[in-house]
Amino acid sequence: MEGRGLGSRPTQQVRKDRKLGNLQIPESVQRLRTALHGKAKEEPEFRFYLLYDKIYRRDVLEQAYRSCKANKGAAGVDGERFEDLEAYGEDRWLGELAERLKKKDYRPEAVKRVWIPKPNGKLRPLGIPTITDRVVQTAAMLVLEPIFEADLQPEQYAYRAERGGARRGTSGSSAPQPRPPASYRRGPVGLL
């Protein structure tokens, strides 16, 4: 298949993309993401069964924490704020979280529900997860994103970093998109 090798333009772009939002991604996390993306590109039928251990890697959790902290956000149902974690000790907290993930003791908390007014006077629900849940979700995204990104066609823009409808170069046509290739539907990834 065209554009699927390690030297392909999309794969080279992943190597260059060293930022997540406004944050610089550490070299070790970028190497992991590049390796996962390259493997997914090179072998579309490959099944990634051993990814859970990548989520609780210290460098991945640190990057996830920095990303969540940069986004700020309100406290979840536990009332824990980033200031509380700084007082407790970020390294200590991350170490304990990594240990909970490693022992498979981690369980997500309930999501705090708040209602935000819309311009038309109605209310929109907003769910606010705890900081712990946000960090774990971001760590999972850091590991899974390059695998699924490898299967997307260049013209597919939705929910992709550095891509948006305005950059598409079209008039915003809502023409039906072709069904994604079978390799996009990967099956179990071995997270639990």
Residue 121: alpha-carbon gap to chain centroid: 33
Q: Write out the chain's pLDDT in tens, 192 residues.
A: 444 444 445 544 544 455 555 678 899 999 999 999 999 889 888 888 889 999 999 999 999 999 999 998 899 999 999 999 999 999 999 999 999 999 999 999 999 999 999 999 999 999 999 999 999 999 999 999 988 888 777 777 666 666 655 544 444 445 455 555 555 444 444 443
Q: In the chain, what is the straight-line distance between the N-terminal and C-terminal CA atoms, in Å?
A: 32
Name the β-bridge partners of 115.
125
Question: Positive or negative, the Cα torsion across 181, 44, 137, 60?
Answer: negative
CB atoms within 10 A of CB 94: 18
Measured between alpha carbons, how far is 31 from 25 in angstroms, rounded to an integer? 10
**pLDDT score at 132:** 97
Contact by Cβ (8 Å): 17, 162? yes
User: Phi and psi (nearest 5°) for 93?
Assistant: -65, -45
Measured between alpha carbons, how far is 17 from 50 in angstroms, rounded to an integer? 24
**pLDDT score at 2:** 45
pTM of the model: 0.72
**pLDDT score at 53:** 94
Beta strands in 6-163 (DSSP E): 19-20, 23-24, 112-117, 123-128
Name the β-bridge partners of 23.
20
**pLDDT score at 54:** 95
